[in-house]
Structure 1
Amino acid sequence: MGLVDLSDRCWVEVKGGDSKKFLNGILTNNIQTLQPKTGCYSCLCTPKGKMIADLFCYNCPPLQPGGRSENYFGIDCSSKLKLTLLETLKKYIIFQKVELFDQTDKWGTCAVIGPKVNGEKGLGDPQCWPWGFVRGPHGNTEGQDPTLSLRANYDYDFVEWEGFKIWMIRKTMWGLPAFEMWVARDQLPSLKSKLNVPELDPETQEVLRIESATPLFGVDMDENTIPQEANLYTALSFNKGCYVGQEVIARLEHRGHVGKQLRSLKLEGDKIPQRGEKIFSEDGQEIGTVTSSCFSPKFSSPIALGYIRYASLSLKEVRIGNSTANFL
């Protein structure tokens, strides 16, 4: 297991009687069907379907025990995108009963990641989770097993442990099971110390991210990216009604295809390509661009993420510099 510092994440509360309908009409995933103590991955897009931010949205009370959940939602995204997120949400509030609260200075988060955090009995399994977390008094109901068990991605619950009041969220992070913990920001350093899990350095985190083909906003996707180009299908709903950018996103899904798509590549040799380096077909035609790269212990070779033109996605081999590369 490893500890991941996520203190660069922000937390925005969206509350009010129209909050669910409001978010469902703006975000790309289905917010209307979110049950209390569940969440989803989603995108915020322009009317042309291009990304403004990727984020996680939760049907929850504010990050304090005992709150009401039906009209409260929490949005978690990179702090670098917070101002754009807030400005965009405010722009769409017209007559709706919706209020926004930036709680980033109040709450902070970290995560424990690794295959051993996922046991047969869920988070409370002492064989995989040594701390013995149980639901706090506000997360437990009479007759319910107090052992915390989060079965699906983005399920969450409230726990109390060693004096910490924690919102625990189950996720898959870089292809591995993970549990994210939100606490009062001034308690975050103490929680990380008490967990006593080795912290993953940024270089290791980047390797895990690229090995799992997880795109990062500002690196592998930006304000010119349509979600399908970055393979963000888990952030999209094709069954709900209209939302901002829906016309373009739905048309690509049902009537056409993207012009390019993010793919993983394994390179021969030992040279790691640079971000922005061009990708060529075997006959020398430029077909794409590298966005991220590293040396991969998993594949024992350099690997990269890069956008490939749609017409070239069926190629077996491509070239980056003097190296031959294959799609993973």
Structure 2
Amino acid sequence: MSLQEVQQAAGAIFNKEGVALSFDNEAAALKAVEGGVAICDRSHWGIIKITGEDRLRYLHNQSTNDFEKLQPGEGCDTVFVTSTARTLDLATTYVTEDSAIALISPNRREQLFTWLDKFIFPFDKVKLTDISSQFSVFSLIGQPSNSLLSQVGTENITLEKTGSHQIIAIADLPVRIALGSGLATPGYTLITEQENAEAVWAKLVNSGAIPLGESLWESLRIQQGRPKSDLELTEDYNPLEAGLWQTISFDKGCYIGQETIARLHTYNGVKQKLWGIKLDRAVAPETPITLEDKKVGILTSCTDTAAGSYGLGYIRTKAGGEGLQVRVGDALGELISVPFIQHK
């Protein structure tokens, strides 16, 4: 059976792109995130493999984080930006002995590949390969994920720093596991060859991981503040405004967009910030956010949950921060801190 057939047998409901939106088990999946282990199929995300002697220098020059200090087995989140520091994508990149593997947002795969390719010059020893179709990606989400992997894997897990990774065997098949679920909830990201995906997924589910669909992932990422391409991450915003300070090295040398980011940092020039918003009702994205009838921002995402409605939105820095009471269309809202976002 294929992975999709196994998921369908477990109750998966797919969209037209073949992504499992739901397993009709939202309550159980949410309970697993909070106190057990959930598993989400992120195989629709893009994977770009970067090889060649200059690969780390190239990534160092093309994105916000410091790649020249990374060793094989390490990784980091980084933001690819334009020359004026406008965001293209938030990516997670893993450094191996002979390559770097970048996990890219689904809706940025082709655009980012084309963007990066145009910055490879004749004397650069760098090669890009889109290997998205060759691999499957899963997220294990939940504090006990380490225990579950220890039960099903044959190697000791030695990962301590977010982004660090190693190869273990699951169902006697090689799987790269990396510390970090892709959300603020503790967990792991797993990358395995597509032909092995069904067996690895089945082993994890049979060992206690609860399947979690894309719709709940989307709700969790809004509640936790992970910005998304085309919504919070567009060329209207920069990484500092998006609260992605943890992805930026202020000590490394020149890179695309560095001058703008350094100036904003040095002179406290961040004029708007991304915040979580607790709402008294659901509101459509792109609804203006107002304070005393004056527009101070815009809603970018919204989710309705059993605990209420939550959104993400950009707010003018001068308007205020956590605890600020605002109006979002017909709804009342309060700015709240969310774990994925940092505001230094």
TM-score (norm 2): 0.81
Q: CA deviation at 1:130?
A: 5.9
2:132 to 104, 115, 123: 104
The answer for the alignment partner of 2:92 in structure 1 is: 56
| Cα deviation 1:239-284 (Å, max 9, x = unaligned) | 100000000011101113222111111123xx21111111110x21
The count of residues paired between Structure 1 and Structure 2 equals 295
1:251 to 263, 286, 295: 263
The answer for the alignment partner of 2:244 in structure 1 is: 232
State the one-letter code of the partner of 2:103.
D
Aligned counterparts of 2:318 and 2:251: Cα–Cα separation in 1: 28
Q: How large is the Cα RMSD of the aligned pairs?
A: 1.6
2:316 to 294, 301, 309: 309
Aligned counterparts of 2:168 and 2:67: Cα–Cα separation in 1: 25
Aligned counterparts of 1:80 and 1:306: Cα–Cα separation in 2: 20
The answer for the alignment partner of 1:93 in structure 2 is: 120
Unaligned runs of 5+ in 2: 1-36, 337-344
Contact 1:134 1:148 in 2 (8 A): no
The answer for the alignment partner of 1:6 in structure 2 is: 42
State the one-letter code of the partner of 2:99.
Y
1:166 to 175, 197, 203: 175
Aligned counterparts of 1:104 and 1:323: Cα–Cα separation in 2: 41
4+ residue segments displaced more than 6 Å: none
TM-score (norm 1): 0.85
Going by fraction, where is helix more abundant, 1 or 2? 2
Q: CA deviation at 1:115?
A: 2.2
State the one-letter code of the partner of 1:264.
G
Aligned counterparts of 1:30 and 1:218: Cα–Cα separation in 2: 25
Q: CA deviation at 1:296?
A: 3.6
State the one-letter code of the partner of 2:329.
G
The answer for the alignment partner of 1:198 in structure 2 is: 210
The 3-state SS of whatever aligns with 1:224 is: coil
Q: CA deviation at 1:129?
A: 4.2
Q: CA deviation at 1:224?
A: 2.3
The yes-or-no answer on 1:76 pairing with 2:103 is yes
State the one-letter code of the partner of 1:258.
V
Q: CA deviation at 1:189?
A: 2.6
Unaligned runs of 5+ in 1: 61-68, 118-122, 136-146
1:131 to 131, 151, 162: 151
| Cα deviation 1:194-244 (Å, max 9, x = unaligned) | 211221123321221111111111122212221111101111110100000
The yes-or-no answer on 1:26 pairing with 2:38 is no
State the one-letter code of the partner of 2:68.
Q
| Cα deviation 1:158-180 (Å, max 9, x = unaligned) | 11122211011110432211111
Identical amino acids, percent of aligned pairs:
24
The answer for the alignment partner of 1:113 in structure 2 is: 141
The 3-state SS of whatever aligns with 1:219 is: coil
